Amino acid sequence: MTIRNYIWDFDGMLFDTYPHTVAVFCEIMRQNGKPVDPQEAYDKFKVTMWHAFRYYGFTDEAEVQRFYALENDIDFPPVGRPFDGVPDVLREIVRRGGRSYLYTHRDKVAMEYLDRYGLTDLFSGFVTSEDDFPHKPAPDAILHIVKTYGLDPAETLMLGDRDIDIGSGVNAGIPTLLFDNENRYTDVGQTYTCRTVGEILDFVKAALPEE
């Protein structure tokens, strides 16, 4: 098994941003006089953002846009940061001659996060919401990355923390790695499972021989 190309989800995979997103949502709901339980909201957002919105009846377009405006303030506490050890994994991939790609339904704010932490140059390509691909688990964005950069699907891995990330990889016909650091899943069709960033680093070292 050789994996040379790593397609990364952003939220909950590269960056620990869910606490930030949930704090923003709780603040908006508090301002609206509808306080919500943070842990419950966290669990709903871990499914998808729109799942959380529907659960709480958060459908007013003006309020949704107000949420996005505040959520895009990357300094709103708690601040989203790369998971400990993730920068080391990205650097190890580059050191071994591999390549990383970003696949997120966030907009260009994802790039601001990468720039802030000096990670942008560790990626060879990016897909964000501006590229207007169908949402996961649709395979379109992954197939675009594979075709655009001439990747071998058998040597290309989709990494994510949710079942929809894994589904997009499965639907694209490439191996997948589930980062299940909260023990939320059992079998969602993933090829590999890692529960810590350290395990991902070990995976890379085993899957990508040094040049």
Is 196 a member of any domain? yes
Quote the tokens at residue 129.
């919401």
Q: Domain tally for the chain?
A: 2
Find, among 106, 100, 104, 105, the residue nearest to 120 by Cα. Answer: 100
11/43 same-domain check: no
The model's pLDDT over 83-133, given as tens digits with 9 standing for 90+, comes to 999 999 999 999 999 999 999 999 999 999 999 999 999 999 999 999 999
The alpha-carbon radius of gyration of the chain (Å, integer) is: 17
User: How far, in Å, CA of 78 to CA of 22, rounded?
Assistant: 10
Domain identity same for 114 and 203: yes
CA gap 9, 152 in Å, rounded: 19
95 and 160 together in one domain = yes
Instruction: Determine the Cα–Cα distance for residues 71 and 161; give it in Å rounded to an integer.
Output: 20
What is the CATH number for 123? 3.40.50.1000
- Out of 71, 91, 112, pick the residue that ends a domain: 71
* CATH code of residue 45: 1.10.150
Structure tokens at 8: 């990364």
pLDDT one-digit tens code per residue, 137-168 = 999 999 999 999 999 999 999 999 999 999 99
pTM metric for this prediction: 0.96
Residue 185 burial by CB count (10 A; 0-12/13-18/19+): exposed, middle or buried?
A: middle
HSE-CB at 103 with a 13 A cutoff on CA atoms is 31
Domain that holds residue 26: 18-71
